[in-house]
Chains A and B, each alone.
Chain A
Amino acid sequence: MKKRHEQKLVILSITLFVMINIPFVLVFDVPGAIAGIPILYFALFSIWLIAIIISFIILKRHYE
Chain B
Amino acid sequence: MSNYLLFIIIVCYLAILFLIAFLAEKNAKSKWVNNPYVYTLSLAVYCSAWTYYGSIGNAANSGISFLPIYLGPVIACPLWIIIMRKILQISKQHKISSIADFISLRYGNNRFLGALTTVICLLGTVPYISLQLKAISETFEIIVGTPAATPNRFFDDSTFYIAVLLAIFAAFFGTQKSDATEKHRGIVTTVAFESILKLIFFLTIGIYVTYYLFDGTQDIYDKISVQADFTSLATLNGLEGGFNWLFTILLSFMAIFLLPRQFQMAVVENNREKHLKHAIWLFPLYLLLFNIFVIFVAWGGTLTFGDTTKSEYFTLLLPLQNNDTFLALLVFLGGFSAVISMVVVSTLALSTMVSNNLIIPYGYLEKFIQSHPEKNSSYIKNIRRISIFLIIIAAYIFYVNFSIELSLYSIGLISFVIISQLAPSFFIGMFWNRGSARASTIGMITGFLITTYTLILPFTLDSFAGFRDWVDKGFFNINMLRPYALFGIDFLSPPAHAFFWSLICNTLCYLFFSIIVKGNYRERNYAEMFVDNKNYFSLQDNVLVWKGEAYVADIKNVLIRFLGEERTQRALNLFFLKYKLPQNTQLADARLINFSEKLLTGSIGSASSKILIDSVIKEEEITLPEVLKILEESKEAISKNKILSEKSEELTSLTSQLKKANEELILKDRQKDEFLDTVAHELKTPLTGIRAATELLQDESEMPAEVKDVFLNNIIQDTDRLSRLINNILDFEKLSTDRQRVVMSKNNIKITIDKAIQSIQHIASKKNIAIRLKNQQTIVLLYNEDRILQVLTNLLSNALKYCDSETGIIAIDYKRLAGYLRVRVKDNGKGIPDEDIDYIFNKFYQSQDQNIIKPQGSGLGLAISKQIIEKHNGSIWAEKTYKTGACIVFKLPFN
Interface residue ranges, A against B (CB under 8 Å)? 1, 6, 9-10, 12-13, 16-17, 20-23, 25-26, 29-31, 33, 35-38, 40-41, 44-45, 48-49, 51-52, 55-56, 59, 63
Contact = CB atoms under 8 A, between A and B. Distances in A.
A55 B221 contact: no
B64 interface: yes
Interface string B851-873: 00000000000000000000000
A25 B245 contact: yes
B373 to A, nearest CB: 43
Nearest to A13: B78
Contacts of B490: none
B362 interface: no
Given A20-B249, A25-B242, A40-B236, A51 B292 contact: no
B535 to A, nearest CB: 15
Given A20-B71, A35-B217, A36-B217, A59 B277 contact: yes
A63 B277 CA distance: 7
A52 B288 contact: yes
Given A16-B74, A21-B245, A40-B236, 9 more contacts: A6-B81, A26-B242, A31-B235, A35-B218, A36-B216, A40-B64, A49-B288, A52-B285, A59-B277
Contacts of B149: none
Contacts of B235: 29-31, 38, 40
B225 interface: yes
Contacts of A52: 281, 284-285, 288
B35 to A, nearest CB: 15
Contacts of B284: 48, 51-52, 55
Given A1-B81, A16-B78, A55-B77, A33 B236 contact: no
Interface in B406-436: none
A26 B235 CA distance: 9
The secondary-structure label for the interface of chain A is helix
B78 A12 contact: yes
B558 interface: no
A62 B44 CA distance: 25
A1 B291 CA distance: 31
A9 B81 contact: yes
B257 to A, nearest CB: 13
B76 interface: yes
Contacts of B242: 22-23, 25-26
A19 B242 CA distance: 13
A6 B67 CA distance: 27
B551 to A, nearest CB: 45
A45 B236 contact: no
Interface string B218-244: 111110010000010011100100110
A38 to B, nearest CB: 4
A17 B234 contact: no
B75 interface: yes
Contacts of B218: 33, 35-36
B236 A51 contact: no
B607 interface: no
Nearest to A48: B288
B246 interface: yes
Interface in B270-309: 274, 277-278, 280-281, 284-285, 288, 291-292, 295
A29 B242 CA distance: 10
A48 B75 CA distance: 9
Interface residues of B, number: 40
Interface string B45-87: 0000000000000000000100100010011111101100000
A21 B285 CA distance: 20
B238 to A, nearest CB: 8
18 contacts: A6-B82, A10-B78, A13-B75, A17-B249, A20-B71, A22-B236, A30-B235, A33-B218, A36-B216, A36-B218, A36-B219, A37-B221, A41-B67, A41-B234, A45-B291, A51-B78, A52-B288, A59-B277
Contacts of B71: 20, 44, 48
B280 A9 contact: yes
A22 B231 CA distance: 18
A49 B274 CA distance: 23
Contacts of B288: 45, 48-49, 52
Contacts of A12: 78
A37 B220 CA distance: 9
Contacts of A45: 288, 291-292
Contacts of B78: 9-10, 12-13, 16, 51, 55
A36 B217 CA distance: 5
Nearest to A23: B242
Contacts of B75: 13, 16-17, 20
A30 B141 CA distance: 40
Which are the 8 A-B pairs with shortest beta-carbon distances? A36-B217, A22-B242, A36-B218, A38-B234, A9-B78, A36-B221, A13-B78, A56-B281
A41 B291 CA distance: 10
Contacts of A63: 274, 277
Nearest to A44: B67
Interface string B174-192: 0000000000000000000
B256 to A, nearest CB: 12
Contact of A55 (B219, B239, B281): B281
B150 to A, nearest CB: 41
B82 A55 contact: no
Contacts of B234: 31, 33, 38, 40-41
A41 B280 contact: no
A41 B79 contact: no
A37 B225 CA distance: 11
A25 B236 CA distance: 9
A14 B444 CA distance: 27
Interface in B190-224: 216-222
